[in-house]
Amino acid sequence: MSAQIKGIESLQCEYVVPDNATPQLPRWSDTHIQRPALIVTPKTEQDVKDAIRVAKENKLIIVAAGGGHGTFVSVDPASLYLDMKLFKKIALNKDEGTVKVGGGVIVEEVLKTLADEGYYTPIPNSDAVGFVGSMLGGGNSAQIGLHGWMVDNMVSFRLITASGDIVEVDSSSKDKEQSLFNVLCGAGHGLGVVTELTVSAFPLSSLSMEDNKIWTRSLIFPAPALDIAINAFLDLSHPPAEGYMSLAFARSPPGTPAAGSPIIILGYQYFGPAEQAEKATTLLFQDDVVSKTVVANTELLPFENVNAKMNNYNSHHGHKTIASCRLHKTTPEAIKAGFEKWRIATEDYPDAQQSSLIISAYNIDKTSAIKNEKPGSGLSTFKPGYHILDWPTDVMEFAQAHQIPEFSVLGLSGGGPFALACAYALPKRAITSVGLFATAPHWAAGTKHVEYYRRVLKVWAEYSPSTLRAALYMLYLSLRWIILSGPVSRRLSKWLEAQHKKEEAESEAPKPKPLSLEELVEMVLDEPFRQGADGAVHEMNLLTSKNWGFDLEKVQYDNIQIWHGKKDVNAPIQMIRYMAERIRGCELHEFEDETHYTMYKHFEPALRELVE
C-alpha cells in the first residue's frame, strides 16, 4: 500500500498507511470519517512541509487535526490526516500579556497551564476541543462579554501555506498578509497548517473574583415549571459584561429520582466579585422562582474547572453532531416551541436521549462595536486634504467589504462630527442609529463659551500648522511621562478606584469594571498621536471650522442621540444644545456633574442603548 504513495520515504516523522486492521481515528463523532490514505504525525515544521509536499504529489487533501472535534470536515481515502498532537507549546509572556499556543494543544491544557500561573484567556465551553481549531472558527466563550469573541484577542498566527512557506501574520501585516490574517480570524479552516498562534492573556486578579473562583448559580426545574424558567432566563438575558446566562433542556441522568424525565437547567456564571454577581441575579433568589425548582445552589467554582460540567459530552466515537445559530432576540413562544420539538425527538428516538438544547445569553457590547479609525488616528494612514464628509464613504466601503447591511454609528469626542456626517450622507436603510458621545462642538454656535487657549490653538493650527505639530507632539510626550510616572500614576489610579467605589455604593446594580489609568492614557493620548501630530492638527482645523461640509438643519435622520456632560469645558454644553436644537429628531442626554474626561463611565450604557 505504501508503495502507492509517492515520496513517502522522505518523511522523517511517524506516519501510518492505514489498512483494514488500522484502528478507527479517534474523533468526537464517527460521522463523515473513513480511513485516510495517510496519517502523518509531525514533530517539526519541516515535517509539516514534507507532508504538504507528499500531499501535493499524491493529490491528497490535508486535514489538520487538533482536538478531533471538527466533524464538519470529512476524512476519506483522498485525505492526508495531519495529526498535530506533538505541537504542544504553551508559552506565557506576562510582560507582554500574551500566550503562544501550539497547533496540537487542547483547551484543557491552555486553561490549566494559565490558571496555574494566575492567568486566563477566553476559551470555548469544552476542554477537549483543539484551541487552534476553535480560534480559526471565531471562538465562542463564556467571557465574551468581557473580551468579545476569542478572535478579538488574537495577536498573530504562524502557519505553513500550501506552497510550503512559513508565514507569520498579525493585525499590522500589509496587503495579502493582512487579508490572510483577517480571514484566519473566524473563517480560517483549510487555509494552511497553523503550527502556533499568539493570543492575549489576562491576570485572573483583574477579575476581582474571590480566591480566583467563578461565582455560579444553578437552578433545575421540572418540565411543568417551563414558563417560570423561560421568563427568568429572558429577564436576565442582557447580563453585565461579567455575566453569562444559559438555559438548557436535558433529560435527568440515570440514578436520579426522575431518571429520563425532561428537566430545565438555568445557569449563571459571573466573572467578577461575588457581591456584584448577587446584585445582578437577584431574580434567581426570589421565592416564587426558587420554590418551583428541584435543585437550587450557588457555588464558587475554581477557574480551571469552568468547563467541568460539559465533560460528559466530550467522549469520542459514536454518531454525534452539533449545530448552532445566533439570534438577536427570541420570545417565550419560540423557546417553548423549541422545548416541545426537543422533547418529542428525544422520546421518539431513545438513542437521542442524551441530546440537549442549550440557549445562551451574554453581553454584546464587545461583539457589536467595530472601531473604524479616522485618517491619521491610531493605525489609520494620514491623508492630507481629508474632509469630514469623506468619512461616510469610508464607512460605507468598509461595511460593504465586510457584508454588513445595517449598522449603528457612534462618534466619540472628535469623532462626533464624523458620525453626524454619516447621518447626513448615508442612506437611511444602512443606519439603524447614530450617537455622539462627548462630541466636539460646532463652532458656528459662537466662541464666547470656548476657553481662550482653544481659540489661540485654532488660529495657530490655521496659520502655522507645522510649528503646532511639533509643539503638540512634545506636549503629548511630556503629559504621557508625567501621568504615568510613579507618584502621579499612583495618585490618579487611587482616584479612579475611589470614583468607582463611590459609584457602586450609590448604585444598586453592579458597575462595569473601570478603565485602568494605562487604558485611559492609551485611549485619550496615545491613539490620536500614534502616527505623530499631523492628523491631530488637520482634524483641529476641520472641527473648529464653522463649515463641516453640511448644514445641521439638513441632517435628515430621525434617530440621533447625544450624551454630554454639563461641565465639559472642551465642548461647552451651550454649544452642544445649539447643535441639538438644529438637528431634527435629536435627543440630548445631559449629565449634571460630568466633564469631558469623566463621561467614560456612561459609555457602555450609551453603547448598549444605541445598539438595542
Residue 215 has pLDDT above 90, yes or no: yes
Residue 371 has pLDDT above 70, yes or no: no
pLDDT band of 509, cuts 50, 70, 90: low
Q: Grid coordinates in use for 457?
A: 490653538
Instruction: List, for residues 576-598, the tens digit of each pLDDT value.
Output: 999 999 998 899 999 998 999 88
List CB contacts of 34: < 8 A, sequence separation 6 or more: 75, 76, 77
Task: Check: CB of residue 74 under 8 Å from CB of residue 65.
Answer: no
- For the segment 249-269, the average pLDDT, to the nearest whole number, is 92
Class of domain 2-83: alpha beta
User: Is the sign of the CA dihedral 385, 390, 395, 396 positive or negative?
Assistant: negative
Residue 507 has pLDDT above 70, yes or no: no
C-alpha pair distances (Å), 134 with each of 122, 123, 185, 271, 549: 11, 8, 10, 21, 46
pLDDT at 278: 95
User: How many helical (H) and strand (E) elements, i.e. helices and strands, does the chain have?
Assistant: 20, 20
Facing residues of 373 across strands? none
> Whole-angstrom Cα distance, residue 588 to residue 52?
60
Provide the CA 83 distance to its chain's centre, in angstroms.
Answer: 29
C-alpha pair distances (Å), 472 with each of 158, 216, 536: 39, 50, 9
Other CB atoms within a 10 A radius of the CB of residue 322 amount to 12
Q: Which residue has the higher pLDDT, 447 or 530?
A: 447
Torsion of the alpha carbons at 39, 41, 42 and 43, rounded to the nearest 10? -170
Domain locations along the chain = 2-83, 90-206, 212-308+326-364, 369-611
Instruction: List, for residues 68-118, the tens digit of each pLDDT value.
Output: 888 788 899 999 999 999 999 999 999 999 999 999 999 999 999 999 999
> Whole-angstrom Cα distance, residue 308 to residue 95?
30
Q: Which residue has the higher pLDDT, 241 or 510?
A: 241
Instruction: List, for residues 529-576, the tens digit of each pLDDT value.
Output: 777 888 888 888 999 999 999 999 999 888 899 999 999 999 999 999
Q: Which residues of 284-363 form beta strands (DSSP E)?
A: 295-302, 357-362
**Domain 212-308+326-364 = CATH 3.40.462.20:** yes
Angle at 17 between CA 13 and CA 20, to 5 degrees: 145
pLDDT at 487: 80
Task: Check: CB of residue 85 under 8 Å from CB of residue 172.
Answer: no
Q: Grid coordinates in use for 363?
A: 453581553
Task: Check: CB of residue 395 under 8 Å from CB of residue 426.
Answer: yes
> Whole-angstrom Cα distance, residue 23 to residue 255?
33
pLDDT at 490: 82
pLDDT at 587: 93
Amino acid at 246: S
> Whole-angstrom Cα distance, residue 514 to residue 520?
10
Angle at 40 between CA 34 and CA 42, to 5 degrees: 145
Task: Check: CB of residue 150 under 8 Å from CB of residue 135.
Answer: yes
Amino acid at 68: G
Residue 511 has pLDDT above 80, yes or no: no
pLDDT at 369: 53
C-alpha pair distances (Å), 418 with each of 451, 515, 544, 586: 23, 25, 13, 16
- For the segment 336-358, the average pLDDT, to the nearest whole number, is 93
Burial of 33 (0-12, 13-18, 19+ CB in 10 A): buried
> Whole-angstrom Cα distance, residue 34 to residue 494?
62
pLDDT band of 3, cuts 50, 70, 90: low
Architecture of domain 369-611: 3-Layer(aba) Sandwich (3.40)
> Whole-angstrom Cα distance, residue 169 to residue 158?
7
Architecture of domain 90-206: 2-Layer Sandwich (3.30)
pLDDT at 44: 97
Instruction: List, for residues 30-43, the tens digit of each pLDDT value.
Output: 888 899 999 999 99
Q: What are phi and psi of 488, to 5 degrees?
A: -65, -40
Instruction: State in Å, rounded, how far the first CA of the chain is from the last one.
Output: 61
Task: Check: CB of residue 539 under 8 Å from CB of residue 374.
Answer: yes
481-499 exposure pattern, b = at least 16 Cβ within 10 A, e = fewer: eebeeeeeeeeeeeebeee
Task: Judge if pTM exceeds 0.75.
Answer: no
- For the segment 197-217, the average pLDDT, to the nearest whole number, is 95
User: Is the sign of the CA dihedral 314, 320, 326, 329 positive or negative?
Assistant: negative
> Whole-angstrom Cα distance, residue 533 to residue 531?
7
SS3 168: strand
User: Is the sign of the CA dihedral 371, 374, 376, 377 positive or negative?
Assistant: negative
Provide the CA 536 distance to its chain's centre, in angstroms.
Answer: 29
Residue with cell string 454577581: 277
- For the segment 499-509, the average pLDDT, to the nearest whole number, is 69
SS3 9: helix
pLDDT at 207: 93
Facing residues of 196 across strands? 102, 158
C-alpha pair distances (Å), 531 with each of 374, 375, 378, 469, 470: 12, 10, 7, 12, 13
* Run of H or E residues at 160: strand 154-160
Instruction: List, for residues 263-311, the tens digit of each pLDDT value.
Output: 999 999 999 999 999 999 999 999 999 999 999 999 999 999 999 988 8
Q: Which residue has the higher pLDDT, 28 or 521?
A: 28
